[in-house]
Each structure stands twice: as C-alpha cells, then as structure tokens.
Chain A
Amino acid sequence: MTRGPRLPRLTGNGHLSRLLLPKRLHPVAERVKLKDEGHGIDLFGLDRAGITRGLAVSWWLYEHYFRVESHGIEHVPSDGAAVLAANHSGTLPLDAMMLAHDLMRNRQRPVRIAMDYFVPGLPWINLLFTRAGGFSGTRGNFHALLDAGELVLAFPEGTVGIGKPFSQRYQLQTWRQGHVELAIEHQVPVVPIAVIGAEEQWPQIARIDGLESLGIPYLPIPATPMPLPVKYHLYYGEPIDIPSMFDASQVHDAAAVAEGAEMVRNAVERLIEHGLSERQGVFS
C-alpha cells in the first residue's frame, strides 16, 4: 500500500516502560497471564505494554518508598475467578496500585480493579488504569470478568473510603454489598484483604465538593504535597467459600447477601486488627 509520509510516532509501545523497569522484573511482566483477543489486548484494554508500564510506574514505590510486605498471598487462587475485597483509603488509589503490583509479582495474575464510573471519562488517566487492568465498575463488567475467570478487586467502601478523614483511619465506612452478590451469583470465593499503611499515607485537611461538572466527585486537599513514606503491609485472608455457604439462587435473597457482606466485612476488620497489632510503627 502506498501512502504519504508518516508523522513521528508519539504513542508509546512499552519501550520506555521496559527501560524504566529493572531487568530482574522483566520476567514478571512477561509471565503475567493475559487473555489475548488476537492482537495482544483483552476486551477491557489490558495489554502486555500496559502491564509493563504499570510495573514500571509502581516498582520503586513498592520496593523503596512504601517498602511493601506481603502476607498470605497464597490465599489468592492461582487460577480461576475470585473476588478480592479490601479496605480503601489514602486520597489517591495507591493501595490499589500496590495490591496490583504485589499480585502480578507474587501470583503472576493481573488483578482487575473496579474503578468508579467517572474514571473512564478522565483523559489519559483512563488509559493508564485500563491498560494495566482497571475497569469501569459496572455490573455488566463484573459479570464479564468473573465469567472469564479473572481476579476482580473491589473496594466496598468506594470513594467514601478513599476520602475518609484521618480521624477515621482503619474504620470501615459504609460497606457495599455488590461484591458478595456477584460472588454468590457466580459461585466464586471472596478473598478478604487488609491494607495497612495506606490509611496514614496522605491525610486530608479539606476537600472541595461539587465538581461533578468537571467529571470528578470532589477535589481532596492533602496536608502534605506528597504521600508520606509509610510502610505498607498487605494481608490476604483465607478465602470465604461463598459457593459452599450460598446457592446461586440466593443472589435475590437480601438477607443472604447482607449476611455474606457482613462476613467479608468482619474478615477484613479482623485482618486490620491483626495487621495493626503486628506492625512496629507507621513508618517501619
């Protein structure tokens, strides 16, 4: 095919990410399982270059800034669908980033992170997230990913959790039930997770509400220009065996769903208590 002169290529294809990622971590990016739809990308936009970019952006934070320690990752299934449910905090979703990095590195699985509806509408940010495994947290997307046997990470506290005041750190906010409803319907386990450290990483002193017209729910005003170098501990609890406790038909039973959600909430709370009792201090 004859064609005119090409414009210089401005879109990335992973070369820069590979340069930024230490060589010892290249095998991690290559080993992560990806459901390729024929052109190296999956239906939601996850691709190898995005995985590499995600690792390149997060490895230094994971190893040196937040010095992440992972406990009990063997509880995350090595194959097949599961719902992961964690506490959420920190002004920016760095907890999601550290969890995704940990799971890719130590479980060779990409985690599909449910994002609020407004995120896919944000230029560039949507690409950074979706190419590394994020997805718009619609019910239909959850169904499609669980049907495809993926690991889906939900933060049942939602945006309320990430914006919680410092005085309410490690106190679980309104606990949504959708993740358990999906687990019952798809008959998959729920893995409870506690993220220790993130709740102190970036205290907010105020927030500006009423910014929906700009595509964001609010603008946080943090106390420091950068997140604090707190030490992260990620605790993965034993999977809650939803299929043995609930029949798929109970997805319409509000009491059963509420009971399941309470079990997950209690499990996350216990992990948080355990994690807080184990750690030496916020920065160590």
Chain B
Amino acid sequence: MSAVLVTGATQPLGRAVVEGLRDRGRRVLAVGIDPDGDFPGDVVYESVDLSRARSLKRLMFGPAVDLGVDTIVHLAFHRTPGHPRAHKLHVDATRLLLRMSERHPTIRRFVHRSTVEVYAARLDRPDVLREDNPLELSPKAPAWIRERVEADLTACTRMGMGDLDIAVLRCSEIFAPKMGSQLHDYLSSQLCFRPMGFDPILNLLTVEDAANAFVLAAESDATGVFNIPGKDTMPLIWLTRKWGRDSVGVPGPMLGPLYSARRWLRRTRFRYDLNAWRFHFNGVLDGTRAREELGYVPEHGIEWPRLDSGGAGD
C-alpha cells in the first residue's frame, strides 16, 4: 500500500492532515523538526531539518522509498516573519523536495501549501481573486511575501516538466494559534488599530477545512493551482468585535511605527508592513476551481469566543 509523506506534520495543520489521511486508510510518513512527533503507532515519524539537503536526501531515498511514498504534502512553514531560517525552509527546501521527487522511484504527486499573500497588491486587483490573478512580484514587497511567491512559483514552474503531478493550494489565512496567523497575532491585543476610513472584507480559513483541502488534493489526480477559501467572510471591524476586541481607526502612515513599537515593547509577532494592503482593500479567494476539481467546500466556521458583554459587529 502506498503512503503519503507530510512535512510540517507537528504543526496543527500537519497533525490534522495526518489524521485525515489515516481516516482514509492511507499510511503516513510524518516529518517534523521536533525530536518526537507524538503520533499514533501506525504513523511513521521522522525528525528532519528540511533546510539541510543531506537530511532531506536521507529521508527521501531512505524511509520514503521503504514505505513506498507516492505523494508528498508539503506543509512545512516557518511561523516567524524575517527569521533567518524561513527562506531556507520556504524556498530552498521546496526546490530540493521537488527536484528529488522528480527522480524518485515511487513519488508521483506533490501538493504544495501556498497562501493568499502571493497575489499582487495593486489597485486594479479584483476583490475576488481567481487563480490567474497576477502574483506579487514587486521589489517593494516585504521579503516574507516575496519568499512565499518564490516558493509558489518554484512549484508552478515545475508543472508539466516531468511525470510529477503538482497541485499548489493557495489558502486563505488559517486563523488559529500556532499557525503563523498574522490576524490571530493582531487580535492578541485588546485594542487593535486599523487604518482610519477603511474596513476591508477578509476571508478566514479553519485548520479543519484547510486539512480537508490538502487531504482531498493528496487523493486527487487534479493538477494546477487551487484557491482554498474559508467559510467566514466579513469586514475587519466585525472580526475584531466578534473576537471581543476593540478597534480604533488611526491615520494609515501612523500604523507602521505604532505596530513596530508595540512589537518591540510587547514581543508580539504582528507586522503591519505584511498586512498594510489587506487592511485597506478587499481580497477574498474564489474557490470555484477547488470545488469543481477537488470537491472542496468549506464547512467549518471559526469558533468565536463567547463574549461576556457586548455583541458582535453585526
């Protein structure tokens, strides 16, 4: 029986994907950086630093061959923007994994995790983003976003170049703790600042729905790029209120320094420069292609906190 290799398996999304694949009777080779994966007995866990080519080669041509891995679900993701290891993990590891998969004796399919952030931020951008929307290639874009675009393009440029089937899943923001969610970090403060006079529409994805999308993609033969939206679509102000926070409008140019100071003083991870565009303009993924070709439909809404007073924004 063939198996699926899941990278980033010790992160919440990875665990959910491993669980979903097990439920479908697939054998799983879970890969993470932690020494111990703490998975059920039928899951083979390997602790591997994906940014090291030698470790990766040992994994790919060792346990992956032994278990007959035919599909890779590449979810590994560094949660901290600007971390020196992030580029290696996002771009270099993706390139190496793809290169090794192409000449691997058993691997036939590669599913890559990408994100809504890869779409170009410019005024002629539509509010509803399809897969053919231009990507963010501006030299002014933050390095964190350029890395995500580079990783996405690394996977896309390999499509149709060999026998490997490649699917790239561009996910809405997965709104959960320990997922590198900038919005989750943004809402960690009781008082949230936003650009005055703007209230953009956001779409949020749950770990459950994201995991379902990756399991469906691993099981499918469909190739290409797929947008993965979540079930919850709402304005930024409603989101803050539903999460029990207060939001205050501040002139746009003040937000960068304000959040830089807050990050420095309170050690928060939220970076305004990564979110400036979407805090002004709408950007919701169109999931038609994923629905039609993968059978993906978002089903799980965000679990909102029960507030002791006041109501949600709507």
**B65 on the A face (CB < 8 A):** no
Q: Give the chain B neighbours of A2 by CB distance below 8 A.
A: 308
In contact, A39 and B232 (Cβ under 8 angstroms): yes
**Chain B: CB-nearest residue to A123:** B197
Q: Give the chain A neighbours of B296 by CB distance below 8 A.
A: none
Residue ranges of B at the interface with A (Cβ–Cβ < 8 Å): 123-130, 133, 190-191, 195-199, 201, 231-235, 237-238, 244, 246, 248, 280-282, 284, 286, 301, 305-310, 313-314
Task: For B233, give its contact among A41, A141, A144 (CB under 8 Å).
Answer: A41
**A166 on the B face (CB < 8 A):** no
Q: How far is the CA of A212 from the CA of B52 in the complex (A)?
A: 49
Q: How far is the CA of A64 from the CA of B195 in the complex (A)?
A: 36
Given contacts A41-B235, A140-B126, A140-B129, contact A13 B313 (CB under 8 A): yes
By CB atoms of chain A within 10 A, which of B129, B133, B244 has the most?
B244
Q: How far is the CA of A37 from the CA of B281 in the complex (A)?
A: 18
**A226 on the B face (CB < 8 A):** no
**Chain A: CB-nearest residue to B285:** A43
Residue ranges of A at the interface with B (Cβ–Cβ < 8 Å): 1-4, 6-7, 9, 11, 13, 37-41, 43-45, 47, 117-118, 120-127, 130, 135-136, 138-141, 143-144
In contact, A140 and B123 (Cβ under 8 angstroms): no
Given contacts A117-B123, A136-B127, A138-B126, contact A39 B238 (CB under 8 A): yes
In contact, A38 and B313 (Cβ under 8 angstroms): no
Q: How far is the CA of A69 from the CA of B188 in the complex (A)?
A: 53
In contact, A121 and B233 (Cβ under 8 angstroms): no
In contact, B232 and A138 (Cβ under 8 angstroms): no
In contact, B301 and A44 (Cβ under 8 angstroms): no
In contact, B307 and A1 (Cβ under 8 angstroms): yes
In contact, B133 and A140 (Cβ under 8 angstroms): yes
Given contacts A120-B123, A123-B198, A140-B126, contact A37 B233 (CB under 8 A): yes
CB distance from B122 to the nearest CB of A (A): 9
In contact, A136 and B197 (Cβ under 8 angstroms): no
Q: Give the chain A neighbours of B198 by CB distance below 8 A.
A: 123, 126-127
Q: Give the chain A neighbours of B232 by CB distance below 8 A.
A: 38-39
Q: How far is the CA of A237 from the CA of B186 in the complex (A)?
A: 51
Q: How far is the CA of A121 from the CA of B122 in the complex (A)?
A: 11
Q: How far is the CA of A139 from the CA of B129 in the complex (A)?
A: 11
CB distance from A193 to the nearest CB of B (A): 24
Given contacts A13-B313, A123-B197, contact A38 B231 (CB under 8 A): yes
In contact, B124 and A138 (Cβ under 8 angstroms): yes
Q: How far is the CA of A37 from the CA of B287 in the complex (A)?
A: 13
Q: Which 8 A-B pairs have the closest CB atoms?
A: A123-B197, A140-B126, A1-B305, A144-B128, A37-B233, A7-B246, A124-B197, A141-B126
Q: How far is the CA of A88 from the CA of B310 in the complex (A)?
A: 44
Given contacts A1-B306, A127-B198, contact A40 B127 (CB under 8 A): no
Given contacts A1-B306, A45-B201, A123-B197, contact A39 B128 (CB under 8 A): no
In contact, B244 and A1 (Cβ under 8 angstroms): yes
**Chain A: CB-nearest residue to B197:** A123
In contact, A38 and B233 (Cβ under 8 angstroms): yes
Task: Other than A38-B232, A141-B128, give 17 A-B pairs with Cβ distance below 8 A.
Answer: A1-B307, A3-B244, A11-B199, A11-B237, A13-B313, A39-B233, A39-B238, A41-B201, A41-B233, A45-B201, A117-B124, A120-B281, A123-B196, A126-B198, A127-B198, A130-B282, A140-B127
